[in-house]
A and B are shown apart, each in its own frame.
Chain A
Amino acid sequence: MEQVELIRKLMALALVEVDEARLEHIRRDIEKIVEMFNKIRDLDLPEDLEPLYTTYFGEGNLREDREESVESSERWELLDRGLESGYLKAPRTL
């Protein structure tokens, strides 16, 4: 059941959990899809073929180091959850 172990590891890494009841179902789907992926993994490609990570072909967008103030009322909208003295409440870290 090595695959199930793998899926549990991925769930822990991605913090995405699936019910035990659905685990087998998901495992089967994932297995099929990985099989499709393996077509790529097992493909022979020329050594000097460079990977392509983006099809953007411009010279680059850089931003001037100039402050742009967001309307102060908008700022507060940005985090309208439970704030404690302005801080956002978050779970334990220890």
Chain B
Amino acid sequence: MYPPQCTGLASISIRTLKTRTEEDPDFLFKYIEEVYRIIERHEETIKAYITLRPMEEVVKEAEKLLKRGSLGPLGGALVAVKDNISTKGIRTTCGSRMLENYVPPYDATVIERIKAAGGIIIGKTNMDEFAMGSTTENSSFFPTRNPWDLERVPGGSSGGSAAAVAACEATVALGSDTGGSIRLPAAYTGTVGLKPTYGLVSRYGLIAYASSLDQIGPIGRCVDDVARVLSVIAGYDPRDSTSLKVEVPDYAQFVREEPLRKYRAVVIEEMIAEGIDKGVVKVLEQVVSKLEGYDIEVEFRSMPILEYSLPAYYIIAMAEASSNLARYDGLRYGIHLSAEGLLWTKAYAQVRKIGFGDEVKRRILLGTYVLSEGLYEGYYMKAAKVRRAIYDSFRKLFTEFDLAISPTAPTLPPKLGEVITDPLKLYSLDINTVPVNLAGLPAISVPGGMLKGLPVGIQLFGPPLSEGVLLNVARIVEVIVDYEQ
């Protein structure tokens, strides 16, 4: 199911694009034209892109790709890239005034791999400033709208990427996820979003928000697309010290409509408790009952420590953010102010005052607070201990179960302006997604059904490096839900 903007040719999957283009190279150009037609018609209202490459440029790249002889695993797919991922020669703003005109001199590792695999970068997508937010309303430039309901948010912080994919303004997209920033927008826009195991995908070139939590991941219209992109971007990168030296399988092989073996799944009670909308829980329950038809056992367990996951997450994320954003002083890149005669502290303060928005400033101040002398042990260190407790609890849980299932978001997508004025309300949107980042686990959000005309996402997550299992079950959910429509 696609929102009204997405029609015809523009909605095809990577597999179809690749197969049809291999048969007839002209098909790729037809496809590109169709996508740009949609963009022309709808991008003005949706505003998923900060920087959109002109069609001529994309066509030229398609021509070069075809000359290469092999289309690669991505087959000419048009990839929308979240604007916190460095693209050489293409402006990369992080949704912030601070980097409004910053053009990176290098490509992120994932971008190198996308290009080598036959992907074509179509543009850079809108996001909450420095990835801090859950609705994309914190972008310094403009908000992105949910294609399903233009009065509502697409989620965040990868809202632009999710909206572009949902509205078929791109084939697939790359987003980043620190506390749910891929999964939440995927859930709100009815797309599939995957956050890999921490360390599976290189962070080299990802403009950091919270380094121990950030991961880059794919967003697509179907599980198969997401699996293909993951295969391309995953794998060891010597330029990232947190990159895992593991064998990367061909993830497409897991995208099957039957379970590859017997799975035991768990629903954690705290993830369907009072904070979660009853309608959303109902959608989950329907999916769960259908899964049992596939011989996937689902049990219920309680994990009380999860009550502390939101505050622990925000302490850690804000602390790391305050550190990662210290480098933005306007001296080497970013906003350029005349500093003649000013003392460096004054010059830096001036740049950071106008370069950062309120939410970013708030998080930097709070992050500075929890790291400061005398408070470190009570806040940051304590939060890290809670993190350890959550990590250990999940480790134990996943000796008994293969995966966990939960609603991705606690509610339907809010209206624009509804949650943005109350930070705690905003943060609570992440309640089911942050525990996954704290433990470094892989997770996927897959559409689980519609409620009041809006998409509801189901989150599947599992032990480290269980992406294969998650993709398998996600495909099954996809089949279940398609059947229902």
Identify the A interface with B (CB < 8 A). 6-7, 10-11, 13-18, 22, 26, 29-30, 32-34, 36-37, 39-41, 43, 45, 49-61, 63, 74, 77-79, 81, 88-94
CB-contact partner of B361 in A13, A18, A57, under 8 A: A18
Interface centre among A30, A37, A43 (most CB of B within 10 A): A37
Q: Is B118 an interface residue (CB 8 A)?
A: no
CB-contact partner of B353 in A10, A16, A34, A93, under 8 A: A16
B431-463 contacts to A, CB under 8 A, are 438-440
Closest 7 CB pairs of A and B: A55-B440, A51-B384, A52-B388, A91-B347, A91-B339, A91-B344, A77-B105
A10: chain B residues at CB < 8 Å are: 365, 368-369, 372
Stretch at the interface among B130-138, B221-229, B241-249: B241-249
Determine the residue in chain B with the shortest Cβ distance to A49. Answer: B385
- Asked if residues B238 and A33 are in contact (CB atoms below 8 Å), the reply is no
Contacts A43-B382, A50-B385, A81-B332 given; does A90 touch B339 at CB 8 Å: yes
A77: chain B residues at CB < 8 Å are: 105
Bound Cα distance from A43 to B356, whole angstroms: 33
A40: chain B residues at CB < 8 Å are: 308, 311-312, 315, 379, 382-383, 386
Contacts A36-B311, A56-B242 given; does A51 touch B387 at CB 8 Å: yes
Name 8 interchain pairs, CB-CB below 8 A, sorted by A. Answer: A13-B372, A26-B361, A30-B366, A39-B308, A40-B386, A89-B339, A90-B344, A92-B342
- Asked if residues B382 and A52 are in contact (CB atoms below 8 Å), the reply is no
Contacts A37-B379, A43-B386, A52-B384 given; does A16 touch B356 at CB 8 Å: yes
Sorting the interface of chain B by its residue count into under 10, 10 to 19, 20 to 34 or 35 or more gives 35 or more
Determine the residue in chain A with the shortest Cβ distance to B237. Answer: A61
Bound Cα distance from A70 to B420, whole angstroms: 44
- Asked if residues A51 and B385 are in contact (CB atoms below 8 Å), the reply is yes
Bound Cα distance from A37 to B423, whole angstroms: 13
A26: chain B residues at CB < 8 Å are: 358, 361-362, 365
B282-305: CB near A (< 8 Å → 1, else 0) gives 000000000000000000000000
- Asked if residues A61 and B345 are in contact (CB atoms below 8 Å), the reply is no
Q: Is B349 an interface residue (CB 8 A)?
A: yes
Bound Cα distance from A39 to B62, whole angstroms: 54
